[in-house]
Amino acid sequence: MVTVTLGADVLANVVLGVHEEGYHRISSAAYLDATLLSELKHFQESYFRLLPDSEGGNRFRSYGRLVMIGSECFETSTKEYVQKVDYNYADGGKVRIFSPLERRVVRSAILRRLVEVDADIVRKSGIVSFDGPVRIGVHQVRYQPVAGEISCSSPPGPHRDDEPVVFVHHINESNNVTGGENTLGKSVHYPEFVVKLDHPLDTLCLTQKHFHAVVPHGLRSGTIGYRDILLVTFQGETESPEVHKRLFVVRH
């Protein structure tokens, strides 16, 4: 078993920020320590093997769904990802199937650490009830602008997500990329805050309180660049998932 070691003061500050503001920027120090540095390198390398998003946008993606039952986290066989039109005006209503997460990614100490800490924050924030199964979506996304073409998110403009809470984990980026800031606001027309994630595992926790968007990615030099993120989402499970192997157990 692994015990989540996020400091009580740090955790309390994150939970308070999420409650009061509806979002919170979390330092990489909450997730990363010396024991994970080599694992982080392997995790970053996996983004170079992602397949293109069929919806375009100069994006590359993979997706997997986990389910947490009590303190146990399992894999599921689900491959489909669907968002409501109300939340994703660009690709909502479509059944999207992305390439699956690599086995090394699913089993990585990095993913385990992120899920453990994120789940602890969600549980203590009370945004999602853990009395029943909890669906955890894991999205690897690479934004890859090229000369003369931007790379954008889906949807490209302000929106709210289907899931009540989303963690945006910064993984890596090339030094010639511009953009990638997260904008937030209570109105779709007027962003009030801009958050930039700079270092590997810097994280932004988002709820449905604000509309948010990602500034399109471009290049300041060269012919190609990239910015890599990991999205980890939480919501109450509404289906009966076909669970596989148990990944890990979290004590809380």
CATH number for the domain harbouring residue 23: 2.60.120.620
Pairing relation of β-strands 243-251 and 2-3? parallel
Q: State the SS3 of 139-189.
A: EEEEECCECCECECCCCCCCECCCCCEEEEEEEEECCCEECCCEEEECCCC
Task: For residue 228, give the amino acid letter.
Answer: D
Return the structure tokens found at 191. 């962003």
Domain encompassing residue 81: 2-251
Quick count: other Cβ atoms within 10 Å of Cβ 23? 21
Q: What is the signed CA dihedral for 200, 172, 16, 132, rounded to 10 degrees?
A: -110
Distances (CA, A) of 112 to 55, 89, 115, 138: 29, 32, 5, 11
Structure tokens at 139: 């999205």
Distance, in Å, from the CA atom of 247 to the CA atom of 13, rounded to the nearest integer, reads: 29
Which residue in the block uniquely carries the two structure tokens 């509806």? Answer: 22
Q: Which amino acid is at 50?
A: L
Query: What is the H or E stretch that residue 21 is in?
Result: helix 8-21
Cα 35 to chain center, whole Å? 22
Cα torsion 27, 158, 165, 101: sign: negative
Total tally of structural domains belonging to the chain: 1
Structure tokens at 78: 């689900």
C-alpha 51: how far from its chain's center?
Answer: 18
Q: Would you write out the chain's pLDDT as a tens digit for each of its 252 residues?
A: 334 456 778 888 898 889 889 999 999 999 999 999 999 999 999 999 999 998 889 999 999 999 999 889 998 877 666 655 555 455 545 666 778 999 999 999 999 999 999 999 999 999 999 999 999 999 999 999 999 999 999 888 898 888 999 999 999 999 999 999 999 998 888 899 999 999 999 999 999 999 999 999 999 999 999 999 999 999 998 776 666 678 888 866
Which parts of 144-201 are beta strand (E)? 165-173, 177-178, 182-185, 193-195
Distance between CA atoms of residues 196 and 202, nearest Å: 9
Instruction: Report pTM.
Output: 0.91
